[in-house]
Amino acid sequence: MTLATQTPNDDRGSVDVRQRFFIEDSPVRGDVVRLSRSYATTIAQKAYPEAIKRLLGEMLTAASLLIGTVKIDGHLSIQLQSSDSDSLLNWAMAECNQDGVIRALASWKAETDEQIHAWDKMTLADEAFAELGSTGQGVLFINIQPDGGEAYQGIVERTHDTLSECLAHYQKQSAQIPTLINLASDGLQAGGILVQMLPRTAEEAYEIEQNEDAGIDDDLWIRLSVLTRTVKDEELTTLDANEIIYRLYNEESVVAPDPVALAFGCTCSREKCATAIEQIGEAEALDILEEQNGTFEMDCGFCGEVYTFDKDNVTAIFAE
């Protein structure tokens, strides 16, 4: 599909998508992510403060964008961890797998009236992000876990006051790939765009070197950078992915494959809970049962599913 020749209102289905696009005859690629139902389902699991809702929207969008930059069968997660005991945000994480299944979770302090009042005054994702501490404090991770393979963790330097700028800086510094990232969330919907200029292959570089008339557009990245920075937050959260691409790059030769649908999902299971019980040991598990009148529950923070275990269940776990 060549977006330069389509109308802006061409809607290709679900709002919850990652739409890839390429600029023809160039090393530039990008993705647009739009989240609605899956994001709403995620933040409905807990009574999150408004600022954390928006931060999780940005994180879900970022994870959905970044997994498109790696070729794995597995999942990618973004994790924020405060290094300040006085921070109101303990940690937050968002995850997307190669099939477009997303989920997110956060922990925050709201035990006192002062803390609750502080959250009530925050309405922006950047305010929740700032609870990591000042620039240089707090820890950001990108975790990549291939199915059946070795996990990789990248530490993202806290160089800026927004998640998008930190992630773009990480991509440029660690992968040596110029990257633009815009993220937005209004507490109801979320969206974002990622644009990268990939390195040319040795064959492409040789062809360019041998052919001065190869038609290389030296100003393309500068032009795309200016255009990409013009996108407004409300456009990222309300417009169809294809319309965003069309509005920004309708004078470029843009080609886009079929979009990837995104949806909320969870990987919790009774079997995983049983594994966790195994790790604490039979004696301690039985002690917990006694303290809780013969049953205890394990609930999933991501989806709210509750798994109940009694003495027979625990005994069966350790009898296997």
d(C-alpha 53, C-alpha 262), whole Å: 18
pLDDT band at 14 (very low <50, low <70, confident <90, very high): low
Helical pair 50-66 and 113-120, crossing angle rounded to 10 deg = 60
d(C-alpha 1, C-alpha 258), whole Å: 8
pLDDT band at 12 (very low <50, low <70, confident <90, very high): very low
* Helix ranges (DSSP H) in the chain: 37-43, 50-66, 113-120, 125-130, 163-174, 202-210, 220-228, 233-238, 241-249, 270-280, 282-291, 311-319
* CB-based burial label for 45 (10 Å; 0-12, 13-18, 19+): middle
| 61 and 185 Cβ atoms separated by less than 8 Å | yes
212-256 pLDDT tens trace: 444 455 688 999 999 999 999 999 999 999 999 999 999 999 999
d(C-alpha 52, C-alpha 66), whole Å: 21
Is the model's pTM score more than 0.75? yes
Distances (CA, A) of 37 to 16, 34, 173: 7, 10, 34
d(C-alpha 317, C-alpha 299), whole Å: 18
In the predicted structure, residue 146 carries a pLDDT above the cut 70:
yes
Please state the rounded mean pLDDT for residues 273-286. Answer: 88
| Beta pairing partners, 184 | 191
In the predicted structure, residue 206 carries a pLDDT above the cut 50:
no
d(C-alpha 29, C-alpha 244), whole Å: 15
In the predicted structure, residue 58 carries a pLDDT above the cut 70:
yes
Please compute Rg for the chain using Cα positions: 22
d(C-alpha 72, C-alpha 61), whole Å: 18
| Structural domains in the chain plus CATH codes | 3-264 (3.55.30.10), 270-319 (3.90.1280.10)
| Beta pairing partners, 142 | 78, 154
d(C-alpha 13, C-alpha 65), whole Å: 19
